[in-house]
Structure 1
Amino acid sequence: MIKIGLLSDTHAYWDEKYLQYFEDCDEIWHAGDFGSVEVADKLAAFRPLRGVYGNIDGQDIRKRFPQVNRFTVEGAEVLMKHIGGYPGNYDPSIRGSLLVHPPKLFISGHSHILKVKYDKTLGMLHINPGAAGMSGFHKVRTLVRFVIDNGEFKDLEVVELAG
C-alpha cells in the first residue's frame, strides 16, 4: 500500500501547505507546470517525487522530468502527461497510447480544472488534480491524495487550499 500526494500547475508558487497535506504521503506526483526548479527541489527534498514537465516549464525542468511518464506502482500501471485531456476528449498527443495500451490510472493537468472520472470504455481512472498555484483562471486551488493498494485505488481525497 502506498499513499500518493498529487498536484499540478504550481506555476512557481510555493505553499507550505503542500508539505502539511502531504505529510502522510509516501510519494508526491506533479502533473506538470512546476514553473520553477525551486518548487521541484522542495517537493523532492520532502518525499520521493515523480512528475512530467508542462508547457510553461523551461529546460531545467524538462531535463529532470519527461513529457510522458509511464510507471507501475503497487500493481497499478500509471500514465502521466501534462496536456492529456479527459475521458471522451483525450488530447491527440496521447490518445493513441491510451487506446492501444490503457493504464489503470491516467493523470493529467493543464486545464486547472479538478476532475476525477472513470473511463468505462478503457477501464481506466482519470485524475486531474486541478491547480495548486496562484496563476490562472481557477478560483479554488486544489490537490489530491489517494491510496494505491494492490492495484486498487482507495481513499481519494480532494483538498481545497485557501487563497
Structure 2
Amino acid sequence: MTTIAVLSDTHGLLRPEITTAIKGVDHIIHAGDLGKIEILDELQRIAPVSIVRGNIDSEGEAATFPHNTVLEIAGQQIYILHDIADLNLDCRAAGFAAVIYGHSHQPEIKYKDNVLYLNPGSIGPRRFDLPLSYAMLRITRKALIPELIEISN
C-alpha cells in the first residue's frame, strides 16, 4: 500500500501537528497556495513532494511551480491543480484515477465517472467557519481510499 498526504492552502502556516501526523507517508501532494517556500523545505524532509502553484504563489521559487501536474504513483495517475474551475479536460478519458485540488478551503470527496475528486481543505490560517483539514490517500492494488482528517486549532 502507498500512502500519500494531501495538503492545500497552507498560506504560510504549517502546523506542527500536521508534520507529526504525516511522518512516514510515501509522498506528499500540495495543491497550491503554499505561502512560504520554507514549508516546502520542511515537507521535503518528510517525503517527496508534488506541488502546484496557487493564486497566492506569485513570488520567488513558488512562481515557478506548474499550474498543474500529473503524479504517477503505485500504478495510478493523479492530476493535481489548485482551482477545480480551471479543469478543462475529460479526466476519465485521460486515464486519471484521481483529481486533487484546493483553493476553496472546503474539504470534499466525490466521484464522477469513476474518477476520485479530492479537496483536502486547508491547514493554513482559519477562513470563515470552515474546518481545518487535510487528507490521506491510500492506494492499494484495487482501490484509492481517501480520508479527510479535521484538526482542532
Q: Which runs of 5+ in 1 are unaligned?
A: 85-90
* C-alpha distance after superposition, 1:42-92 (max 9, x if no partner): 1112211111110001232122x21111121111111000011xxxxxx2x
Aligned counterparts, 1:1-163, within 5 A? 1-59=1-59, 60-63=61-64, 65-84=65-84, 91=85, 93-96=86-89, 98=91, 101-120=94-113, 123-150=114-141, 152-154=143-145, 156-163=146-153
Query: What secondary structure is seen at the aligned counterpart in 2 of 1:46?
Result: coil
CA contact (8 A) 1:113 1:138 kept: no
- Percent of aligned pairs with the same residue? 28
Per the normalisation by structure 1, the TM-score is 0.85
CA contact (8 A) 2:69 2:81 kept: yes
Q: How many residues align?
A: 152
In structure 1, distance between residues paired with 2:140 and 2:93: 25
CA RMSD of aligned residues (A): 1.7
Q: Which amino acid aligns with 1:18?
A: I
* C-alpha distance after superposition, 1:7-58 (max 9, x if no partner): 1000001211111110231111101000110111111122111111100012
Query: What secondary structure is seen at the aligned counterpart in 1 of 2:87?
Result: helix
Q: Which runs of 5+ in 2 are unaligned?
A: none
Q: Which amino acid aligns with 2:110?
A: K
**Alpha-carbon distance change, 81 to 127 in structure 1, aligned in 2, over 3 angstroms:** same
**Alpha-carbon distance change, 28 to 138 in structure 1, aligned in 2, over 3 angstroms:** farther
Runs of 4+ in 1 over 6 A off after TM superposition: none
CA contact (8 A) 2:50 2:71 kept: no
1:97 is displaced (CA, Å) by 5.0
